[in-house]
Structure 1
Amino acid sequence: MKQLFGTFGVRRVANTVLTPEFASEIAAAYGTKVKGTIAVGSDPRTSSEMIKHSVTAGLLSVGCDVVDLGTLPTPALQYGVRKYYDGGIMITASHNPPKYNGLKLLDADGIGTPDDLEEEIEEIYFGKKQQRVTWDKIGKAYKANIIDEYIDEVLKRVDTQAIRDANLKVVVDCGSGAACDTTPYIVRKLGCELTTLNCQPDGAFPGRNPEPTEDNLTDLISVVKATGADIAFAHDGDADRTICIDEKGQFVFGDKSFALVEKAMLEKNNGGKIVTTVATSNAIADIARQNNGEIILTKVGDLVVARKLKDVDGLFGGEENGGLIFPDFVYGRDSGLATAMILEIVAKTGKPLSQLIDELPTYYSEKRKVECADDKKAYVAEKILEETTDYEVDTTDGVKIINDKGWVIIRPSGTEPIYRCFSEAKTPEDAEELVEWGMNLINKYLD
């Protein structure tokens, strides 16, 4: 049973739990197992530079060479690791508030480390079994830049001329995070008229919370309406998630953009394997059935989806939160290519985003969350499972309860002390009813 690692990596409050000493020892434990040349990058959080120095020291101390790729999106680091290096560590807390930071550990394919390796890393960490080398075997440190290459590779994968010919007006909100050096440049290179919001890196995230939820994107929605933009994009802190706002200023849920790109990918490739999680909309399965696709469901977590995509030679995958995975490019959620692909779809169809979304299978969803101490999560799950034995239940991840109205999934977060509750149904009223029922189940066992 892992004690430190969550859904993807380790996240803690910076300089309280995630101290320089903690980061260095975790990195040394990782380096003890992985060896070779390790790429290191970070998002622009105020604590990232401190932690990066500690991670670098830990890796060097066990004989790894370290390439510092600077501040960049997680998918750009994953691209670099897959192509050039033996592993990687991304210093980020993704969508978490500014006081947090974390370590996303990558294998040589650029995928988050698997459970068995994380258990070994924890064993080394807690047992203080890091294999420190002698003074003459200490690793060497370098700096490199992968961002320009990453951007060029994104552009190679879309019809750039079609996008330029569409003369789209685009607004980009990077949330002051790691996308500031990628998405605005991708959009401009695609010939779009660009307006930027929160596109200066700032680890305090002064413009908005780094999680791109509808409540956090009110300024972006206002800018879309004021400028008459065709589409807007927003990212989280480490730029692996992409959320769209349509030309009417309407928030587009991540499963909708997932379904839109899935449809285009299946049409282009005459079918293929689509990998997603048990918490993703039934619309994904509907579109697969309509386009010669096969759906494979996994636990929640982009690294789980990415690993399954690799195992089954999948075409495309992702999650309901705006994380889209293009396995021929990056084995992880990729904001850069997701942005370019959605622009290509709008450009080549000649349809506004709102119309494209309306043409997808229609489902309604609701999302809630509530605080729950980590040491109480297992108890709550056990009691909910006991109470739902008379229902159709899927326990791939948490408890997913399915009835004739739709489904509700109740699962503990792997990165925060909270429980999440998502529902989906054919009507908004049923979705609301299901999520309220799910929340009542959680709250019943929190006290």
Structure 2
Amino acid sequence: MFGTSGIRGPVGEEITATLALSVGRALASEGNRRVVVGRDVRESGTFLHEALAAGVQECGADVVDVGVAATPTVARAVSTLEADAGVVITASHNPPTDNGVKLWTPSGKAFGPDRREAISRRLREDDYDLAAWDELGSRRSCETTAADAHVRSLRESVSVSRTDAPNVVVDLGNGAAGSTARVLHDLGCTVRTLNGQEDGSFPGRPSEPTRETLTDLMCMVAETDADLGIAHDGDGDRMLAVDGTGAFVPKDALLALFAVDAAGSGDRVAAPVDTSLAVDDALADVGASLTRTRVGDVYVAERTAESDVVFGGEPSGAWIWPDQTLCPDGPLAACKLVELVSRDGPLSELVSDIETYPIERDSIEVTEKSAVMERVRERVERRYDVAEPGIEIDTRDGVRVSLTDGWFLVRKSGTQPLVRVTAEARDEAVARELFHNARELVRNATADH
């Protein structure tokens, strides 16, 4: 039921009021006596929010309602409002047909495997501790408290000289992250917004910010005196950027910029197994290193809880500063990027200093992806000798083979009948060869059954 980012799917099919009610009941039955509940701007969130809150109250726990709010606002509010857990009704960057449920701990980290399984078990077994009529939970509204606390934390997290404050265009994607524009204005930036009206049908552009969906932002930045552009997804946990020339900032380059800014000698940065060598090399220049995780911001967040990990990022646009919160926080990332530009100069120049390498990607349709992946793993272990210097095999999420001059990753899709192949090297010919070898591994494994 739970994916790497909570429960998510089409409304009226996988996501229903009945499901939301059950999740609320399960949360309270698991001993969470006070639960923060918020939602993004999707219209379906209205009844899902009400149903989940009703389930919490029905099992004797109290609801703290923060209304329409960005995911990081809700995640931070769990601690601020002294709650035991938090819930966001959201499908994040998914299309408007979808919705879902994300669950948060007081640290700002998403529920881990044990807590997710406890909720899933109660849903499977219909096992809830319904309260007596005179022991039902209460409900109170704290919309302003949660929003103001998040804004205050953002202001305090960065330092921007008002004389050097950048001119910024913020593309809110019709979503819930309006706090970004508010904070940047307070910091002295000239701020213009794009797609600023909250609308869960996402009429301005698709909810997910990508190079392909941010053409309006790119044009607006290029044709004005803006120094950079910021873009969020529907629930504000993601942030991507456009430089002052109107060029989309490559995701791995943005990860490298944030990582180097946060890390010093001996520090570690957490990022998924498909992260570019550009990040490794940028960190090596400052005496820091990269520690790889499974793909998914929940796994990155888990690693950032370790004491010497100072930052975590996923190229999808999820950025985590563990000294602030273990939740990906798009508005915080926007403020950090503006601080970086105001201090170190144009974003285009900062990006140009990050060395990038040839990378190849493909997706191969298969019918039995788990079986194919097992055969790929067996073939890799026969073909590559980890006793040889420079060879490493990582099977924590797919099969990643690191060689002295590059790497490749074979990983099954979590949602589609696909196996994804990625290869990167510092030399283009080597990248092509690694990519060819990895793709052949998948094709041969597919033909084996």
Q: Is contact 2:37–2:87 with CA below 8 Å preserved after alignment?
A: yes
2:371 is the alignment partner of 1:379: yes
Stretches of structure 1 that go unaligned for 5 or more consecutive residues are none
Instruction: Kindly indicate which of the two structures has a greater share of residues assigned to helix.
Output: 1
Pairing of 1:12-51 with structure 2 (within 5 A) = 12-51=9-48
Flag the 1:381–1:325 CA change in 2: closer, same or farther, 3 A: same
Pairing of 1:31-110 with structure 2 (within 5 A) = 31-83=28-80, 84-110=82-108
Whole-Å separation in 2 of the counterparts to 1:240 and 1:305: 14
2:318 is the alignment partner of 1:326: no
2:163 is the alignment partner of 1:205: no
Flag the 1:130–1:412 CA change in 2: closer, same or farther, 3 A: farther
- Deviation track 1:206-260 (CA, whole Å, cap 9, x = no partner) reads 1111111111111111111111421111111211111111112211122211211
**TM-score, structure 1 normalization:** 0.90
2:233 is the alignment partner of 1:236: yes
Q: Is contact 2:102–2:110 with CA below 8 Å preserved after alignment?
A: yes
Whole-Å separation in 2 of the counterparts to 1:377 and 1:27: 34
Match of 1:399 in 2: 399
Amino acid of the structure 2 residue aligned with 1:293: A
Whole-Å separation in 1 of the counterparts to 2:172 and 2:420: 25
Q: Is contact 2:75–2:106 with CA below 8 Å preserved after alignment?
A: no
Amino acid of the structure 1 residue aligned with 2:268: K
Stretches of structure 2 that go unaligned for 5 or more consecutive residues are 385-391
Q: Is contact 1:6–1:415 with CA below 8 Å preserved after alignment?
A: no
Whole-Å separation in 1 of the counterparts to 2:227 and 2:57: 48
2:255 is the alignment partner of 1:273: no
Q: Is contact 1:27–1:59 with CA below 8 Å preserved after alignment?
A: yes
Whole-Å separation in 2 of the counterparts to 1:418 and 1:345: 38
1:125 aligned counterpart, secondary structure: helix
Match of 1:424 in 2: 424
- The one of 334, 351, 356 equivalent to 1:362 is 356
Amino acid of the structure 2 residue aligned with 1:361: E
Pairing of 1:228-307 with structure 2 (within 5 A) = 228-267=225-264, 272-307=267-302
Q: Is contact 2:360–2:431 with CA below 8 Å preserved after alignment?
A: yes
Flag the 1:178–1:379 CA change in 2: closer, same or farther, 3 A: farther
- Deviation track 1:421-442 (CA, whole Å, cap 9, x = no partner) reads 4443325666566557656765
2:292 aligned counterpart, secondary structure: strand
- The one of 123, 126, 144 equivalent to 2:124 is 126
Flag the 1:410–1:48 CA change in 2: closer, same or farther, 3 A: farther
Q: Is contact 1:244–1:252 with CA below 8 Å preserved after alignment?
A: yes
2:2 is the alignment partner of 1:5: yes
Whole-Å separation in 2 of the counterparts to 1:372 and 1:34: 42
1:362 aligned counterpart, secondary structure: coil
Whole-Å separation in 2 of the counterparts to 1:403 and 1:109: 37
Q: Is contact 1:368–1:420 with CA below 8 Å preserved after alignment?
A: yes
Report the alpha carbon displacement of residue 405 of structure 1 after superposing the two structures with TM: 4.9
Flag the 1:255–1:120 CA change in 2: closer, same or farther, 3 A: same
2:297 is the alignment partner of 1:311: no
1:240 aligned counterpart, secondary structure: coil
Flag the 1:430–1:152 CA change in 2: closer, same or farther, 3 A: farther
Report the alpha carbon displacement of residue 283 of structure 1 after superposing the two structures with TM: 2.6
Report the alpha carbon displacement of residue 98 of structure 1 after superposing the two structures with TM: 1.3
Amino acid of the structure 1 residue aligned with 2:255: F
CA RMSD of aligned residues (A): 2.4
Q: Is contact 1:254–1:321 with CA below 8 Å preserved after alignment?
A: yes
Report the alpha carbon displacement of residue 328 of structure 1 after superposing the two structures with TM: 1.3
Larger radius of gyration: 2
- Deviation track 1:146-196 (CA, whole Å, cap 9, x = no partner) reads 112211211111113x2x2124221111111121x2111122222222221
Pairing of 1:116-265 with structure 2 (within 5 A) = 116-145=114-143, 146-160=146-160, 162=161, 164-179=162-177, 181-265=178-262
Amino acid of the structure 2 residue aligned with 1:380: V
